Structure 1
Amino acid sequence: MKLSDQVAVITGAGSGIGRALAMSLARRGCHLALADIRRDGAAETARLLQQTGVRTSVHELDVADREAVHALPDAVLAEHGRAGLLINNAGVALGGTFEQVSESDFDWLMAINFHGVVRMTRAFLPLLRQNDEARLVNVSSLYGLVAPAGQTAYAASKFAVRGFSNALRHELEGSSVGVTVVHPGGVATSIAANARAPAGANATEIALRRERANKMLRMPPERAGEIIARGIERNKARVIVGADASFVSWMERLMPVSYWSLLKKAYPT
């Protein structure tokens, strides 16, 4: 896919992988609509891109807000006149076993990580179809490949993104719109530090879990952004980000049921 002079919409563009990917796309001459629940974060990303010469716009957006998502295509059209690339990157984390996590917290995570992807896709697919070449990029996770104990909510949302993306790719086969699903491994973002904990959880236990999680987040976001950008350029259906995600994807293929017997020491609950 030619990214020069393309227009990309990125959710979660105010930090982490979203910001890094915006910078990778900008270096390739791609114009950007930067959306984030924190407007100041998206604005800072836009500021960092000033020297690239690409056109940027900043949009405050909660992907769980139906009306806000519905209004975003018109806002992007007003700023850019078109959109040929949608990257659904916004996401949150929620620790705890299924019995520890409340129904409301489970629904909160699914509303952002999965239903937000579906809403954004429904809102922007008509715009994507207007292009001779367009692509939808949905960010799943390492936990969309395997499902560790203590990650029922998060894994459920990321497996849902994977299944939705794969089925939609088959439905859009032969059209101008391609679909890419991305599975990042341990990328050094703030997602673990910002993860929501179950109500009433022990503070010491929460701190220990976050410390363990942060130790697994090693890849610089800038490296992840480049890997994803190259995957988009090559029209890849699936992009695995990181040696850890690559290893786990092969393990899951070889041991689809019993992989947990080997992985559980690395992912303590």
Structure 2
Amino acid sequence: MDIRECVAVLTGAGSGIGRALAQALAEQGCHLALVDIDPARLQETAEQARHQGVVVSEHPLDVADRQAVAALPEQVLARHGRVDLLINNAGVALGGTFEQVTVENFDWLMAINFDAVVCMTRAFLPLLRQRPVARIVNLSSLFGLVTPAGQTAYCASKFAVRGFSNALRLELRGGPVGVTVVHPGGIATAIATSARVPEGLCEAEREQRMRRTEKLLRMPPAKAAQIILDGIRRDRERVIVGKDALILSWLERLMPVNYWRLLPGIDKA
């Protein structure tokens, strides 16, 4: 896929991988419709991208708001006239075992990490079908490949993104719209450190979890964005980002049930 002069819709553009992707796409001449729940951060990303001379529109909204998502295609068309690329990047994290996580928090995470991917895809697929070449890029996670304890909700959402993407790809095969699913490993963003945690945890345990998580976040978002962008250009169906994700993906294939025995502490990540 040649992304020069394409129009990309990108969610979660206000920070982390989303902001890095916006910058990388803009540098390649891709016009952007940027989406984020935080208007201030969204504006910062948009201003950075405009320095590359591309057309950028800002769309502050909550991707869990189905009515707002349904109205978004018309807004993007009014500004850009078409859509070639949809990148569902927005996501949140939630730590805790299944019994620790409340129903409200579980539903909150699923609404953003999975339901929003489905709603955005439903909203923009008709526009993507009108293009000679188009692509949907859905960000899953390393935890869409492996399942550590203490990540029940997050794993459920990211495995759902993986399954949805793989099945949708087969349904769209033979047409102009391709589907890529991305599995980032430990990327140095704020998603993990800003994750919700179960109520009732003492401050010491919260800090211990934070330190343990921060040790796993190593790859700069800009490097992750370049790997993802390369996968888009090559029409890759699956993109694994980071050596940690690559190693664990192979371990899971070789030992789909018992891989965790080789990784002390993964069930506490």
In 2: Cα distance, 1:264 partner to 1:13 partner: 35
Question: Structure 2: which 5+ runs fail to align?
Answer: none
Contact 2:260–2:266 (8 Å) recurs in 1? no
Q: Is 1:80 aligned to residue 77 of structure 2? A: no
SS of equivalent residue, structure 1 residue 253: helix
In structure 1, the partner of 2:52 is 52
- Paired residues, what number? 269
In structure 2, the partner of 1:7 is 7
Question: Structure 1: which 5+ runs fail to align?
Answer: none
For residues 2-49 of structure 1, what are the alpha-carbon distances to aligned partners after superposition, in whole Å with 9 as ceiling and x for unaligned?
A: 100000000000000001011111111100001000011111001112
In structure 2, the partner of 1:119 is 119
Q: How does 1:127-166 map to 2 (within 5 A)?
A: 127-166=127-166
In 2: Cα distance, 1:264 partner to 1:161 partner: 27
Give the superposition deviation at 1:267: 4.4
In structure 1, the partner of 2:239 is 239
In structure 2, the partner of 1:33 is 33
Give the superposition deviation at 1:111: 0.4
The TM-score normalised by the length of structure 2 is: 0.98
SS of equivalent residue, structure 1 residue 201: coil
SS of equivalent residue, structure 1 residue 167: helix
For residues 118-174 of structure 1, what are the alpha-carbon distances to aligned partners after superposition, in whole Å with 9 as ceiling and x for unaligned?
A: 000000000100100000000000000000000000000000000000000000000
In structure 2, the partner of 1:90 is 90
Q: How does 1:167-178 map to 2 (within 5 A)?
A: 167-178=167-178
The one-letter code sitting in structure 2 at the alignment partner of 1:101 is V
Give the superposition deviation at 1:265: 2.1
Q: How does 1:246-257 map to 2 (within 5 A)?
A: 246-257=246-257
SS of equivalent residue, structure 2 residue 99: coil
Identity of aligned residues (%): 65
In 2: Cα distance, 1:210 partner to 1:63 partner: 26
The one-letter code sitting in structure 2 at the alignment partner of 1:261 is R
In structure 1, the partner of 2:102 is 102
Give the superposition deviation at 1:203: 2.1
SS of equivalent residue, structure 1 residue 72: helix
Contact 1:148–1:264 (8 Å) recurs in 2? no
Contact 2:7–2:33 (8 Å) recurs in 1? yes
In 1: Cα distance, 2:73 partner to 2:203 partner: 42
Root-mean-square deviation over aligned CA pairs: 0.9
| Dislocated runs of 4+, deviation >3 Å | none
